[in-house]
Amino acid sequence: MRMARQPIPVGVKLAGVAIVLLLLFALTRIPSSISAAIAFERGERSEQKLQFTKAENEYQKSVQAFPRSDLAHTRLFVAAYRARDGGTARREFEYLRGHQLDAKLVGEISALLGSRH
């Protein structure tokens, strides 16, 4: 006994195409996300070694990949401030001023700014 072949409904075809497109989009984003995470970790290591210019460069990569990350912007601000890059520090401070930050980040920024005055 053979079953009759039924055509695949249009809705199922459209859903399949949408899933494939979303999967392809996600796969193109993964490498940049991994690179940004690696750059962030390199920035943290450089910061611990007091290599603030190097840390600033790494955090820049993170901020470019994750422009809404308050943590990445805070780390970039701290590294730029300590590297005496006034332009970047001011730009990042202005960005951070307009955001609701975690208390730990606010405390770090306040301590940093308070230590120079």
On whether residue 53 sits in a domain, the answer given is yes
On whether residue 4 sits in a domain, the answer given is no
**pLDDT of 117 strictly over 60:** no
User: How far apart are the two ends of the chain, measured CA to CA in Å?
Assistant: 89
On whether residue 1 sits in a domain, the answer given is no
pLDDT tens string 69-111: 999 999 999 999 999 999 999 999 999 998 889 899 999 999 9
Total domains in the fold of the chain: 1
On whether residue 100 sits in a domain, the answer given is yes
Report the distance separating Cα 61 and Cα 65, nearest Å: 6
On whether residue 6 sits in a domain, the answer given is no
Question: The domain that contains 49 carries what CATH number?
Answer: 1.25.40
On whether residue 33 sits in a domain, the answer given is yes
Whether the Cβ atoms of residue 65 and residue 33 lie closer than 8 Å to each other: yes
Predicted TM-score of the model (pTM)? 0.72
Q: What is the mean pLDDT of residues 33-57?
A: 94
**pLDDT of 1 strictly over 70:** no
Using alpha carbons only, what angle is made at residue 37 by residues 108 and 64, rounded to the nearest 5 degrees?
A: 80
Where in the sequence is the domain holding 44, given as residue range(s)? 11-115
Q: What contacts 24+ positions apart, CB below 8 Å, involve 5-9?
A: none
Report the distance separating Cα 19 and Cα 101, nearest Å: 36
**What pLDDT shows up at residue 46?**
96
Report the distance separating Cα 110 and Cα 115, nearest Å: 8
